[in-house]
Structure 1
């Protein structure tokens, strides 16, 4: 588990902490089984992962996603550059998923 957030994680966290995103509660750096997820909305069983290019073709991510999905979690992955380019659009998509519109 990392203590310091990456810049994209800090940006995303600034928009979702303290129920800022339509009242949905998120936690960061949450252990689930052998993995640590970036962000978790436990009530909706939604995981949000923010990835750099080191994850572009990492087969470990497929195994991780398969495991987390088997526990009933839905996983949204965004590239770091999406956070920099338009965090608002990322947040809109997350809300759509949380509220069953996507």
Structure 2
């Protein structure tokens, strides 16, 4: 029988409370399903927390700030783990969101449509 591990909901709640300004700005769009998909924020995915997760499509959206510049190898490990477990990861910088949130939302919408198209072909 596999080991069951409870989700770290306290940590997820803390991350949501402490969201960066860029995360809050993007959430305004994602929470209203303006990408055509339902997203949750600060969701546990394996050993990681996804900034935004669409469970239906296994799509993770990450916003990178200064801390990601300091430890790029951690992001590479995380992305490799996600890919190995069937997740697609889109990364944007905080600056992308601040300077062009509509472009970021459009890119997410395009990926949602692409993944839906793949899903539709895989299961006729």
TM-score, normalisation: structure 2: 0.76
- Give me the whole-angstrom Cα distance separating, in 2, the residues matched to 1:38 and 1:98: 16
Residue in structure 2 matched with residue 29 of structure 1 by the alignment = 42
Q: State the secondary structure of the residue aligned to 2:91.
A: strand
- Give me the whole-angstrom Cα distance separating, in 2, the residues matched to 1:15 and 1:96: 14
Aligned-residue Cα RMSD (Å) equals: 1.4
Residue in structure 2 matched with residue 38 of structure 1 by the alignment = 51
Tell whether the 8 Å contact from 2:40 to 2:52 is kept in structure 1 after alignment. yes
Q: 4+ residue runs of structure 1 moved beyond 4 angstroms? A: none
Structure whose residues are more often strand by fraction: 1
Unaligned runs of 5+ in 1: none
Whether 2:100 is the aligned partner of 1:73: answer: no
* Alpha-carbon displacement from aligned partner over 1:38-80 (angstroms, at most 9, x marks no partner): 0001111110000102212521111111001111000000000
- Give me the whole-angstrom Cα distance separating, in 1, the residues matched to 2:33 and 2:89: 19
Residue in structure 2 matched with residue 15 of structure 1 by the alignment = 29
Structure whose residues are more often helix by fraction: 2
Residue in structure 1 matched with residue 121 of structure 2 by the alignment = none
Residue in structure 2 matched with residue 88 of structure 1 by the alignment = 102
**Higher radius of gyration, 1 or 2:** 2
Query: What is the total number of aligned residue pairs between the two structures?
Result: 100
TM-score, normalisation: structure 1: 0.91
